[in-house]
Structure 1
Amino acid sequence: MTPNRDEAHHPEEETDEMKQMHRARRTLLGALGALAMAVPGGPAQAQAQAQAQAAYPDRARPIRIITPSGAGSIVDLLARAQAKAMADVAGLNVVVDNRPGAELVLGIQTFMNSPADGYTMLVTSSSSHAINPVLMPKLPYDPLTDFAALTGIAKGSLIMNLGPSTPFRSAGELVAAAKASPGKYTCGSASTTTRLACELFETTARVKTLNVPYKTVAAAMTALAAGETDLFFIDLGSSRAQWQSGRVRGVATTSPTRPSMLPEIPTMQEQGVGDYEVTAWFAAYFPRNTPPKIVHAMQKILAEAHRTAAFSEMLDANALEPLPLAGDALIEMNRKEIDKWKRVVQQQSPAR
């Protein structure tokens, strides 16, 4: 039976229609694929992230260490020693970027705006992570939640330094003079730790001094050596150059016992300054959302770097001890430090 003309098939017309449908389908699939690659968390991005993590660290990419302290400070010296050790043990190209200012907050904010890809690190101190949270109520970061804790680096005491503006050879002599002339003597500071050291000195020794803030440790030490301020509490590493010049002298340590590297310098407590004790610590961090695999890879590199002979010798030369705490252990120590300094500040407040 011959089919009706209206019911007959027309293969060439059906083929054209099918071709159009296929082209439309390919266009739609292509658009969806492009969209999947473009949106955050899409398959292409996830694959790229996985590949980057597997290849981390890429030795062709430099790692930047941001320090919120100026050149010549102990934080800067530790960052540079660590950078050298990272190069030695892992072949990494590491550069140090000093961003001082605003009680270390400027450098911290610069770091927090960095990508969480394992190529920007923060090396900082207890000033930013334990003292700032106590003394600065509107702090724009939370040290316990806004960072991926890598590892502790070192800890150590401060030194009471006197300059040429005073004739005193001991902390005890300064205390006696300050009691006789309240407000006459000035105490320099360059961070919340050094400012708190001045305030703690006032309350435990029962004296009154005038605080003079500086942007960097180097500026504060230069002012002390020039006779512009009378005393400054800071670490050995930041003090040594001025000691050698003969214009600054270290007269007491803020640790409860004399450091092995400085057996000739008495403690503040030996000089009759109550229960005075200040210990600074230093640590390394990645941005908060850094992938755990990258964090763990860097922790291994840092652990090896901190065990090198050159790095250990640097700590010894600056009267510092290792601080081998990583990840959650570092965060928990930080939490306890904040609580401790809160109690200290609350105890001192009535006497201010």
Structure 2
Amino acid sequence: MRRRALLATPILLPGLARAQAQRPIRIIVPYAAGGGTDILARALAEALRPAMGAQPIVVENRAGGAGVVGSEAVARAEPDGTTLCAVVSTHVMNKHVMAQMPFDPLRDFSPVAMLARNTMVLAASSALPFTDVRGLAAHARANPRALSTGSTEALSSFIGQEFARRLGVELPDVAYRAGSQLMTDVVAGHLPLGWTSTASATPHMATGRARIIAVSTATRTPFFPDVPTVQEQGVAEFDLAGWVALLGPAALPDAVAQRLHGAIAAAYAEPAFQSRLAAMGIEPDLRDPAATRAAMAREDRIWAAARAAGHLTPQ
């Protein structure tokens, strides 16, 4: 009870008018409704409402420009804690794949929390004559360009091509609009390999016509605990994944960010919310503002190096 009473304190800065203190907290999701980020944002908003007292929380979809349209609205918002955005890792990557951006994804935002990790998995047709990375590499060398790998957006495409570069093989990229379509083709045998999310891969495992060969992160995913990482299979320092983070405008005071993070941490500690995330196939990865900023800066360096090496080309 004491914890909930503390968290019910309005998020806004002391000294603002009482009426302003009841302004709703808007979480802008700069992507279409129904996607993974939207689902997580709405679940989090629901879990936070009891702790926020009379202050409403609403989720607003503002899609467009690979997340740029909605994120720009937050970058330009008043930094009082009432306007936030839930973004994925392409928020940082966009800086290196777009010719022009109306904001800087690091400088113009204040991190509040890292919310989830989107581990990418390498799905393969069960008809292929290998079950691990070593076998894949040997098959690719013996059969040049016989294997292609599917992707659904800039991140999974980069992971697929970086994986191929590290192995020293060619795995031509095949673009798909959604992970469900990619997995349908893997199961049907039309696509040999594909990098996709755990949520997209899981429903197809029961068919027995697809298998997971590796995961993209440094640690295994709880959704496929028996599948080794790329690192475990001999590719040193391979650690790439998507994520979902909650950000505010650049000048958001540290005290407000910390109070918001505290409310989120309390929601994440609730067993009911943990069960809900697991049921949705979401891997929680809660980090504080400083750790979130460090993770974003690390990825900015990764994408900058990839662009300098010619592995990313601005469009």
TM-score by length of 2: 0.74
The structure with the largest helix share of the pair is 1
- Structure 1 residue 217, shift from structure 2 partner: 4.1
User: What is the alpha-carbon distance in structure 2 between the residues aligned to residue 185 and residue 136 of structure 1?
Assistant: 29
With over 3 angstroms needed to count, the CA separation of the structure-2 counterparts of 1:345 and 1:199, relative to structure 1, is farther
With over 3 angstroms needed to count, the CA separation of the structure-2 counterparts of 1:228 and 1:261, relative to structure 1, is closer
With over 3 angstroms needed to count, the CA separation of the structure-2 counterparts of 1:250 and 1:288, relative to structure 1, is same
Identical pairs, percent: 26
Contact 1:126–1:281 at 8 Å: present in 2 too? yes
Counterpart residue number, 1:5: none
With over 3 angstroms needed to count, the CA separation of the structure-2 counterparts of 1:135 and 1:299, relative to structure 1, is same
| Partner of residue 269 from structure 1, selected from 231, 239, 243 | 231
Superposition pairs for residues 198-209 of structure 1, below 5 Å?
Answer: 198-209=160-171
User: What is the alpha-carbon distance in structure 1 between the residues aligned to residue 137 and residue 303 of structure 2?
Assistant: 24
Counterpart residue number, 2:158: 196
Instruction: Give ranges in structure 1 of 5+ residues lacking alignment.
Output: 1-48
| Partner of residue 147 from structure 2, selected from 185, 193, 196 | 185
| Partner of residue 97 from structure 1, selected from 58, 61, 65 | 61
Counterpart residue number, 1:65: 28
Counterpart residue number, 2:286: 323
User: What is the alpha-carbon distance in structure 1 between the residues aligned to residue 235 and residue 210 of structure 2?
Assistant: 21
Superposition pairs for residues 110-121 of structure 1, below 5 Å?
Answer: 112=75, 118-121=81-84
User: What is the alpha-carbon distance in structure 2 between the residues aligned to residue 116 and residue 219 of structure 1?
Assistant: 40
- Structure 1 residue 204, shift from structure 2 partner: 0.7
Contact 1:144–1:335 at 8 Å: present in 2 too? yes
Extract structure 1 runs of 4+ deviating beyond 6 A.
Answer: none
User: What is the alpha-carbon distance in structure 2 between the residues aligned to residue 336 and residue 263 of structure 1?
Assistant: 26
Pair 1:176-2:176 in alignment: no
Amino acid at match of 2:17: Q
- Structure 1 residue 125, shift from structure 2 partner: 2.0
User: What is the alpha-carbon distance in structure 2 between the residues aligned to residue 334 and residue 275 of structure 1?
Assistant: 18
1:13-50 Cα offsets, whole Å, 9 max, x none, are xxxxxxxxxxxxxxxxxxxxxxxxxxxxxxxxxxxx92
Pair 1:56-2:21 in alignment: yes
1:102-140 Cα offsets, whole Å, 9 max, x none, are 5444553465576766444311222222x3334445343
Instruction: Give ranges in structure 2 of 5+ residues lacking alignment.
Output: 1-14
Counterpart residue number, 2:7: none
| Partner of residue 89 from structure 2, selected from 114, 126, 135 | 126
Counterpart residue number, 2:8: none
Any idea what SS the aligned residue of 1:185 has? coil
- Structure 1 residue 231, shift from structure 2 partner: 2.2
User: What is the alpha-carbon distance in structure 2 between the residues aligned to residue 295 and residue 285 of structure 1?
Assistant: 9
Contact 1:69–1:216 at 8 Å: present in 2 too? no
Contact 2:28–2:70 at 8 Å: present in 1 too? no
User: What is the alpha-carbon distance in structure 1 between the residues aligned to residue 99 and residue 68 of structure 2?
Assistant: 13
Counterpart residue number, 2:4: none
Counterpart residue number, 1:310: 272
Contact 1:204–1:273 at 8 Å: present in 2 too? yes
With over 3 angstroms needed to count, the CA separation of the structure-2 counterparts of 1:310 and 1:289, relative to structure 1, is same
Number of matched pairs = 294
User: What is the alpha-carbon distance in structure 2 between the residues aligned to residue 245 and residue 114 of structure 1?
Assistant: 48
Pairwise CA RMSD of aligned residues? 3.6
Pair member with larger Rg: 1
Superposition pairs for residues 209-248 of structure 1, below 5 Å?
Answer: 209-225=171-187, 227-248=189-210
Any idea what SS the aligned residue of 2:194 has? strand
TM-score by length of 1: 0.67
